[in-house]
Amino acid sequence: MWVTVMSVMAFVVSVFTVIAAFGFIYRQRTKFTTSMASMKNKTVIITGSSAGIGKEAAWDLALRGARVILACRNLKKAADVADFIKSTTGNKEVLVRHLDTSSQASVRMFADKILAEEHRIDVLVLNAGIGGMSKRTLTTDGLEITMATNHFGHFLLANRLLGLLKESSPSRVIVTSSMAHSYIKTLDPRELNYENGKYWQMHAYSQSKACNILFAHHLADILKGTGVVVNALCPGLVATEIFKKCDGFIIGKLYRFLAPIMGKTTQQGAQTIVHLAVSKEDAAITGKFFENCKVSDNISTLVCDAGLAKKVWEASEAYVDLKPEETFY
């Protein structure tokens, strides 16, 4: 009995050691943006910036002198983050605005406020996200909440702000996706909301991340020649709160346990966002997928399908009931 217990303990220690070693090597391979560019007189909007990589990106860009708008669901949490950024960077131009990307009403109210108050948008970072729910959960708009938060809300927001982004050119749209997009092998634009009942939590998250890339690719095509560049990115495995609200999701639970050991820090995870926001060398690149501060080929062929991207765009217009006055392309 004692020998068995010792064997199990030795196995557990060995596994933990391998995981920790992987994490150390993974973090060491992280690339940091080399750009020292100032963001003075630039206005940046970052969704989901009260925690995780959004918060770190906001801090970095504020340190560079940007006027940063934290677009967040939890105003108290965001206000605390804004105070922290102001006190540590010396930049007082850090604002908080309410935005719940799972709600079309909230997205439209946020966009209306931005259009009324801001004269330009230099960088729009579409970063907010959740890991998904164990059962298909609908928003007040009748949309599956993972798709609504991660894709539909950002799709609507980008369209509502597109006119101002074009007027502010050269400007940039940055879409946070994930390598999880490669977990799905087919995508039906008619079933983005899972009306047929074939819902699975990991599929919903992966589909939303695939839609992020397809949306970014099609938007980049639409905006060619306007001075607005659009790129998607994978931040890598990062210890964030994205799966914190997930219920009954074994992958989410494993993520919460393993990410702090195996994954990047939030500062490391934010580097590609910062790079895409500030880099002068890559300023003209559009319609690409970035990882570790460079264009990546680590992308599935599914999301490189221009025809599929157009169909997802058209389906998304219907899901968010995009109105003629909200169309700027």
According to CATH, the topology of domain 33-326 is Rossmann fold (3.40.50)
Q: What's the CA gap between 205 and 176, in Å, rounded? A: 13
- pTM given for the model: 0.90
Is residue 264 within a helix (H) or strand (E), and if so which, with residue range? Answer: none
CB 127 within 8 A of CB 96: no
Q: Which pLDDT does position 242 carry in this prediction?
A: 60
Catalytic residue selected from 194, 205, 255, 319: 205
Catalogue the E-assigned strands of 162-286: 171-176, 228-234
pLDDT at 12: 47
Burial of 35 (0-12, 13-18, 19+ CB in 10 A): middle
Looking at residue 24, its pLDDT comes to 56
- Contact (CB, 8 A) for 96 and 117: no
How many Å apart are CA 295 and CA 288, to the nearest integer? 7
pLDDT in single tens digits along all 329 residues of the chain: 555 655 555 554 555 565 556 555 656 567 778 899 999 999 999 999 999 999 999 999 999 999 999 999 999 999 999 999 999 999 999 999 999 999 999 999 999 999 999 999 999 999 999 987 889 999 999 999 999 999 999 999 999 999 999 999 999 999 999 999 999 999 999 999 999 878 998 999 999 999 999 999 999 999 999 999 999 999 987 766 665 555 555 555 665 656 565 668 899 999 999 999 999 999 999 999 999 999 999 999 999 999 999 999 999 999 999 999 999 98
Please say if 205 is a catalytic residue: yes
Give Cα 267 distance to the centre of its chain.
15
